[in-house]
Amino acid sequence: MTTPDALSLVRDLIRCPSVTPADAGALGLIERVLAGAGFETHRVVFRQEGYPDTDNLYARLGSQAPCLLFAGHTDVVPPGDTDQWRFDPFSAEIADGMVWGRGAVDMKGGLACSIAAVLGYLEAHGRPAGSIAFLITGDEEGPAVNGTVKLLEWAHARGERFDHCILGEPTNPDALGDMIKIGRRGSLSGAIVVDGKQAHVGYPHLGDNPVHHIVRLVTALKASPLDSGTPHFDPSNLEVTSIDVGNTTVNVIPARARAQFNIRFNDLWTPETVADEVRRRIDAAAQGARVTLNFQPTNALAFLTQPGPFVEALSAAVEAETGRRPALSTTGGTSDARFICKYAPVLEFGLVGQTMHAVDERSSIAEIETLERIYRRALTAYFAGG
């Protein structure tokens, strides 16, 4: 079998319109390629009431340690108004040195590079003194309920163990080689509801204006920093994302006001401790207001992969192929690394993310080829004991 290159793979994957939770043939394509290279493959569908059924793929070559896991997702966000795209978002056109299409960056490009790198490594070196595995979901861009989190539980129950993981999310802000993610902040969202008393604005003593209370409360939330950061994390940050009253009349004091907020917290906090701090600040500023505070469930905890030999091996591979020493970062949003970190140290490194989720999502062909070489170099170092 001819070993497919990363560009061919990413084009084939883009042509599968796998908008969450649809698979559209993407996992089957990958399964055939990996099975042809000797991987034992498993397609696993998870179900949970209230969420779409999700197809997932697990594949492994070898049974011995160390095991290097590559993780990723084939699902993509909707393309939006396709008339705004230069090309059909699922046509994988080549133009201007780029491959164009939904998922080219996030993250079919990174996934294709990891697969091609593994196949190239096996062709050059044969089976490693250890194992290589792939853990691929169709539920990363969606609710993330029936995907990686459950596939990891399934694999662990089978006795699968991983020593390290590379997740090919687009981590580079401007150029390939800029950044490796060695951790992520946690995320907690909540809402404050203040019940007041409706009245005529000309008779404010007859009412209790919840707008005045909500302004005081959100000001208290932002009055002082949550912390000053840690060696690998920026300070935790609370953002008020909306203040809503629903009042369309200027001469009526409204009966209720609501504010929403999100906190991105570092490794000084857990969801429980940061929620306690929010409650403390709200209680101190309530001044008798009737306040209800609610938090959304979260599975996004802060985590960190400590710098060491694994981080150095990937950093050295990036520098060798790009000439850039990547920054070690914990910035940005959440990813499936928040689940993987419970089973193995995980690093994120992929393509340049400037067009992810955007109209005309595209990736440089040269950067796809370079990323494939980076992954292959990292594989060689990993199984050589580097």
Cross-strand bridge partners of residue 243: 259
Nearest 5°: CA angle at 33, between 31 and 35? 65
- Please report which residue ranges of 126-165 form alpha helices under DSSP H: 148-157
Q: What are the DSSP E strand ranges found in the chain?
A: 40-48, 51-61, 67-73, 94-95, 98-100, 131-137, 164-167, 179-181, 183-184, 186-195, 199-200, 237-244, 252-253, 256-265, 290-295, 303-304, 327-329, 346-348, 362-364
Q: Identify residue 76 by its one-letter amino acid code.
A: V
In whole angstroms, what is the distance from residue 63 CA to residue 221 CA? 51
In whole angstroms, what is the distance from residue 118 CA to residue 377 CA? 10
| Residue 160 among the catalytic residues | no
| Residue 123 among the catalytic residues | no
Per annotation, catalytic residue among 23, 75, 139, 160: 75
Token digits for 382?
Answer: 């990993």
Measured in residues, the chain has a length of 386
**Are β-strands 179-181 and 327-329 bridged in parallel, bridged antiparallel, or unpaired?**
parallel
Three-class SS of residue 31?
A: helix
Token digits for 217?
Answer: 């409360």
Burial label for 32, CB within 10 Å (0-12, 13-18, 19+), is exposed
In whole angstroms, what is the distance from residue 9 CA to residue 13 CA? 6
Per annotation, catalytic residue among 55, 140, 160, 321: 140
Active-site residue list = 75, 140
